[in-house]
Amino acid sequence: MVGFFPTPYPNELLYSTLARFHIRSGNISPKATIEELFGSRSVTTVVDLPANIDSLISNLPIGSAYTVENLIMENTLYPFYSAFLPPERAKSILQSMKGNSGGSIHNRIGVMASTIAENRYIRMCKECATESLKKYGEVYWVRSHQIPGIIICSKHKTLLYNSKVLVHHFNKNEFVPATVDNCNLTEEHTTSKNIEDAIESEFIPNYIQVVDNVDKLLNNRYSNKPPEWFFSQYIERLKLMGLANINGSVKQKELREQFLEFYGENLLTIVQSSVTNNESCWLSMMVRKPRKTVHPIRHLLMIQFLGIMLEDLWNEENEYLPFGKSPFPCLNAGADHYLQPVITEVSIRYDSKIKRPVGTFSCSCGFVYARKGPDSSEDDRYKVGRVKEFGEVWKSKLKELFQMNLSMREIARRLKVDVNTVKKYGQNLGETEVELGYKRKDNLINKDSFRNEWLDLQKRYPEKSKTELRKVNSGLYTWLYRNDREWLNSNSPKKKQITMVNNRVDWDKRDVETHESVKEIVEEILNSPNKPERVTISRVGKKVGKLSLLEKHLFKLPQTNEYLLQHIESVRDFQIRRIKWAIKECQREGYDVQWWRVARVAGIRGEWIEELEVEFERISSIIS
C-alpha cells in the first residue's frame, strides 16, 4: 500500500497522475513504482485505456476518496470509446479495465480494427501547459487532447502539438510525466497557432462542434444502446432529409455529396474520415445494417450532419412520419365526423415508380382512402388521392340523399365526389329514382340554401380567398356561378393583392432574421424568472417556430449557427444554472440555503446530486 497519492488535476489522464506519483516516490526503477501501485511488476502502462484499476485502488492510502468508477470515467478515454458500444460489450470492457485482462481491450473496443489511426505521440496544448505551470508549478497530460482526429484544444481553440513522448513507449513498464522539456515549452516558437491555420474558415464552426461533442462524451454518462438504436435514429433522420426512402433505402450518391458539402474535404481528412464512391466507404457502411463497430468520431460526424443534438440521441427516438402524426382526419363527407381527426390506422408503403411514400388511411366508418406523400403543408392532410372503399356509412348517406329527391349533381356536391360515382353506387343500391334524380333541373333546388351555404363557408374559412373557397366546395361554387353569378360576385371575399414571390432563398437575409429571432428566444429563456428551461436547438427552434429550418439548414446560417454553438447548454451547464436559480428562490422564500433543499427545488436527481454539490458550495459562497 502506498503512503500517498497525487490528486488528479482537472481533465488529467490517469497515466499522467501515475507518472507524477513515480517522480514523487523517489523510485529509480519504473518496475518498483509499478509494483508499489499495483502489487505486481508485470503490469503494462497504457495511456488511454489502462487495466488493473481494482489493484490500484486496493493499494491506495486508507481513507482514499477515489473509486474504480471515478478513475475510469474521469481519467481515462473509456467514456469516449464506449459511448456507442452495446451495453454488454461496454460492461465487459469496463470489467477488463477494473481487472487484469487488459490485453484485448483495444481490440474489443474497436480501436485496432478502425481505419482511424491512434496518435503516435501524446499531445498537448501550449496554452493549457503554460496555465498549468503557473497554477500548479508543473504540467500534466490532458485527457481530451488525446482523441485521434482532434487537433485543437476545446478550451482555447488553438492547435494541439505533439510532445516528444510516444503513446506506445518502448519501455512498457514506464510512466513518462509531462515536463517543460518534453512538451517543447522551452522552444522559441511557443505561441500557439489558431485553428484557421489548419481548417478552412467556413467549416470551423462544424469542427468546433465535433470537438465540443467529444468533451461531452468524456464528461457525461450516456446509457449504452444496441447498434440498431443508432442505425434506426440515423435512417429516420435521413428519411426526413429526403436522403432515404420510406423503406430505409439510402440515396448514397446524394448523401456523399451533401456530407462533403457540409464538412469539406480538408476537415474530413483531419478526422481521418474522407468519403469516396467506393461501396466499402465508412459512410456507406454506416447507413447499412450495423455489422461492426464504428469509431465514435464518425458517429459524431454523422449526428451533427443530421442535425441531432448529442444529448437527444440517447433519449429521443426519431421517427419518419411522411404524413405527420396520427390521428388523421376522416374524409368521408357522408359521416358525422367528417374532417375530424379520428383515423389512427394508416399503412405506408414506398412506390418505387413515383419514388414517393403512399399512405392508406382506414376509418372505422369503413371509408378508406390513399394519397401520395410526403405532406408539405397542413392542407395536405385534407386531400383525398383515391378512395379505395366508401364503406357502409357513406352508402347509407347516399341512399338517404336519394330519398330526399335531390339531383345527382347536388348529391355529388354534398358527398364530395363526381356525378358518375353517385350514379354507379346509386344503381348498385337499387335506387329507382336514380335516372329521375339525374334529370332533375337545377332551378328546382332552393337558391337560398345555396346562398346560405356559400356564406357559411366564408365564416368557416375567413382567411381563404374566393379561389381557395372554390377548391373547398367546387360543386357549390359551380352552381352559383352558373345560376346566380351576380350575387356570387357581390358576396365573395374581395380579391387579394397578389405579390410575386421569389422562390430563391436569400440565405444571408434569412440568417440575419433567424439570428435575431433565436437571440431573442435564448435571452428570454436565460433571463426568465421561472424555473429554468435548457437551451437546446430543439427548444429554441420550437419557440421561434423554425425547428425544421434549424434542424435541416443550420449549416446555411453561419451567424445563427455560431450564436447557437456559443449558447447551447450542456447538461452540466444547465444543472449549474438550475442551482443558481434555486439558491435565489430559497433566499426569496426565506429558507436556509442548504444543498438538499436547493437540489429538490432545482429538480436535480440521481448521479448529479453528489457530483454537483461542490459546484453548489462554490456558487452559494459567491451569491451570498
Q: What is the DSSP string of 88-124?
A: HHHHHHHHHHHTT-GGGHHHHHTTTT-SSPPPSEEEE
Confidence (pLDDT) at 474: 81
- Only one residue has cell 505551470, namely 133
Phi, psi of 13 (to 5 degrees): -65, 140
Rounded-to-integer distance, Cα 322 and Cα 358, Å: 9
The ranges assigned to domains in the chain are: 12-189, 201-304, 333-426, 445-489, 505-568, 570-621
Asked if residue 372 lies in contact with residue 388, where contact means CB atoms within 8 angstroms, the answer is no
Residue 55 CB-half CA count within 13 A: 19
Let me know how many helices (H) and strands (E) the chain has, helices first. Answer: 31, 8
Residue 282, C-alpha cell as written in the block = 465508412
Rounded-to-integer distance, Cα 313 and Cα 222, Å: 10
Rounded-to-integer distance, Cα 576 and Cα 617, Å: 11
Alpha-carbon separation of residue 489 from 467, 477, 485 (angstroms): 12, 11, 6
Please, what are the averages of pLDDT over each run of 10 residues along the chain (624 residues)?
90 97 92 94 93 95 89 96 95 94 86 87 94 95 96 90 90 92 68 65 86 94 91 88 86 93 91 90 90 92 89 75 88 93 86 78 95 82 90 92 85 90 82 40 63 89 87 83 87 71 75 92 90 89 87 85 87 86 83 80 73 78 66
Sequence letter at residue 282 = W
Rounded-to-integer distance, Cα 139 and Cα 144, Å: 15
Sequence letter at residue 611 = E
Listing DSSP states for 421-467 in one string gives: HHHHHHHHTT-TTHHHHHH--GGGS-HHHHHHHHHHHHHH-TT--HH
Three-state SS at 162: strand
Phi, psi of 370 (to 5 degrees): -130, 150
| Digit-coded pLDDT (tens) for 231-250 | 999 998 898 788 988 888 89
User: How close are the terminal C-alpha atoms of the chain, in Å?
Assistant: 43
Asked if residue 27 lies in contact with residue 36, where contact means CB atoms within 8 angstroms, the answer is yes
Rounded-to-integer distance, Cα 83 and Cα 223, Å: 8
Confidence (pLDDT) at 291: 78
Rounded-to-integer distance, Cα 141 and Cα 76, Å: 11
Residue 467, C-alpha cell as written in the block = 379561389
User: What residues form DSSP beta bridges with 158?
Assistant: 194
Asked if residue 34 lies in contact with residue 41, where contact means CB atoms within 8 angstroms, the answer is yes
Three-state SS at 578: helix
Phi, psi of 205 (to 5 degrees): -55, -40
Closest residue by Cα to residue 349 from 372, 317, 367: 372
Listing DSSP states for 341-368 in one string gives: EEE-EEEEEEETTTTEEEEEEE-TTS-E
Phi, psi of 386 (to 5 degrees): -150, 135
Asked if residue 544 lies in contact with residue 568, where contact means CB atoms within 8 angstroms, the answer is no
Distance of CA 434 to the CA centre of its chain: 58
